[in-house]
Structure 1
């Protein structure tokens, strides 16, 4: 499934502005993306260190633009400005703090404000599941209220549609399937379902509350007697009730299954690739491919 995204990205490669690009794992991913025809890099950062790392990696920078900015915060602002001015299509975090990158994204003069809430969407391909899974939010929005959950869904729907899932099925995850006034996530999931049915949340199908197993296993949904749900057993998007649940799902899938993962920050005027230093080069490459596709979708 990810290979289809890579193939699609190769048809219309985009330009990525890398903030504080003096980071070997990030450069490895960027060079791999360039070699595969997914994205063209604009490297913003400490030019001496970037060129030294590239030399150690045996990479030729003669056809790659390197913009010298030794201060990471200034590099973030400059890279963000490149995207804002249309010289690049999306932004990628290099060797700097996430908070500094997000400050640049939200900067009034150089940033990528869109009026929407910023959130993180994880894209997961698991060998045992017949579709991509989109998980939100495992990394950014900690304790979303009902309004924020509706925005999380719309952001995730945008990502899913950019990856070719035109009517994604959204599962509001909770510990039980029945609405329980003492369990706020079940109330939110039920309200989000009604908001979707009344056209307040669009371009998707929402159902909840659903437990994780009934969201992704048709057998579990049948065994538990869940009827009349178009989402149960076939979810495309998992809406976590809070960051602890989202992060636990992400880490469990990543550590205990055979999977491939990409991740993006969305809600800005352009996609943002923000990966962990612990993430593999493959994860970074897949994130770049997804960002390239999302950038194309947002401009279409």
Structure 2
């Protein structure tokens, strides 16, 4: 945006300018952090006055700042400085409303080159007056132009995609989940938190004494939750799998035990949960600044997958993405390069997977590869390399060459890009929720929400 000014000599009585701005939830978060005003009346997901409703009232001075945008950008424009401003508030603005701010020149003072302006902000929808006042500014005396593109951008570290998934999952019937060895506060607390959000109904399988001790540390009452006693971790994992076979559980959730103990029980050839495909892991990642969730696979189970395994990795990820609302998921198969190089096996596998999707051997999504990371997720990079596919620059799913690349990518997104990650194992008869001791509450809730949505889609409930 290029802004130019009107000098003091160019201004006339009656000159007027307006700007429109959609007031968003992110605006409220940014203003709270910049101003230090953390009044919950202004935060979109908080009930600031205890009436049972979230207010999301736009702060008064945020609304007032919309007037400064007109003064600084349009009238008088670049070089303008305040002398005085008063406000009278007539109504309240809220997140989600479009506002129009207007300034009108009412006086000029040749002695000190100040200008007086009427100022107001109105709600666009109904024309309601939100704030009115008067400004006195020092008007610029020389022509100035400036490009606002020179300003650095802002990304709000808010995980809006997980918030949406949780809201979609909460109205569904709670997914009965066998929670294996929730014998310390993080694993038990995560299961109970998901229960409070009506995402799951846990059956706790493990050592009753250790579970009770963890509940005591959390000050939680487990009297209305079923506990299946198994003091040995391997036995607990097998018992949880048996609950699925008995029709009593529709998902598994890892507690305080090793992942391989859960998977050994689920992969047991006679009593496990095999369903015809390889077990594969998918991270659903909410990366601040991205317009949709990003799926990364496989970063936790298959160490060096061959082509046949990668077919299942891709298909499982497509199925999950569709459960999360992607109508036609775009799958980018990653390599170090975007052209086939026989000396780079991952580039060959990527090309074969792309062709297999073309022929219908992989279905439900668009698959393209090989793609380097940049041209998989950035449209400018894709265009620079001359890649014109519907996937390049728009990938929803990233398929990595091996577990090293996947683990590094997922952790980079988490610890450098401030993403939250939900983890799910697919390919079994039921979703397997893998949580880590380092997961926070948001990640645990998101994992349960993803499992609930996938289970519901598999059973035709969404």
Fold match (TM-score > 0.5): yes
CA distance in 2, matches of 1:84, 1:159: 22
Paired positions, count: 299
Matched, 1:237 2:401: no
Name the structure where helix makes up a greater proportion of residues: 1
Provide the rounded CA distance (Å) in 1 between the counterparts of 2:219 and 2:276. Answer: 42
Contact 2:282 2:299 in 1 (8 A): yes
User: In structure 1, what is the Cα distance between the partners aligned to 2:163 and 2:247?
Assistant: 27
Aligned counterpart for 2:411 among listed residues 237, 240, 251: 251
- Residue 255 of structure 1 and its aligned partner are, at CA, apart by 0.7
- Structure 1's consecutive aligned runs of 4 or more residues displaced over 4 angstroms after TM superposition are none
Counterpart for residue 298 of structure 1: 458
Match of 2:122 in 1: none
Contact 2:166 2:446 in 1 (8 A): yes
* Alpha-carbon separation, structure 1, partners of 2:319 and 2:209: 39
Answering whether residue 238 of structure 2 is matched by residue 77 of structure 1, we say yes
Partner residue of 2:432? 272
* Higher-RCO chain (CA-CA 8 Å, sequence separation at least 6): 1
**Considering only aligned residues, what root-mean-square deviation do their CA atoms show, in Å?**
1.2
Find the residue that maps to 1:283 and give its secondary structure. Answer: helix
**Equivalent residue, structure 1, for 2:115:** none
Confirm whether residue 286 of structure 1 aligns to residue 453 of structure 2: no
Post-superposition shift, 1:280?
2.2
Q: 3-state SS of the aligned residue for 2:204?
A: strand
Aligned-residue offset at 1:4:
2.0
Equivalent residue, structure 1, for 2:180: 19
Q: In the alignment, is the contact (CA less than 8 A) between 2:175 and 2:201 conserved in 1?
A: yes
Task: Find the residue that maps to 1:11 and give its secondary structure.
Answer: coil
**Using the alignment, how far apart are the partners of 2:392 and 2:184 within structure 1?**
42
* SS of alignment partner, residue 61 of structure 1: coil
The equivalent residue for 2:215 is 54
Provide TM-score, normalisation by structure 2.
0.63
Q: For residues 108 and 224 of structure 1, do their structure 2 counterparts lie closer, same or farther at Cα, with a shift above 3 Å needed?
A: closer
User: 1:120: how far off?
Assistant: 0.4
- Could you list the per-position Cα deviations for residues 267-286 of structure 1 after superposition, in whole angstroms to 9, with x for gaps in the alignment? 00000011222222321221
- After superposing the two structures, state which structure 1 stretch, 85-94 or 104-113, moved more: 104-113
Deviations 1:174-229 (A, max 9, x none): 111111111111111111111111111110101111111111111211222222x0
Quick check: 1:138 aligned with 2:299?
yes
Q: Secondary structure at the match of 1:207?
A: strand
Picking from 420, 444, 450, the partner of 1:260 is: 420
| More strand, by proportion | 2
Is the 1:26–1:284 contact (alpha carbons within 8 Å) kept by the matching residues of 2? no
What is the alpha-carbon distance in structure 1 between the residues aligned to residue 243 and residue 395 of structure 2?
Answer: 37
Contact 1:78 1:110 in 2 (8 A): no
Consecutive unaligned residues in structure 2, runs of 5 or more: 1-160
- Is the counterpart of residue 165 in structure 1 residue 318 in structure 2? no
Q: Post-superposition shift, 1:109?
A: 4.8
User: Whole-Å Cα distance in 2 between the matches of residues 258 and 251 of structure 1?
Assistant: 10
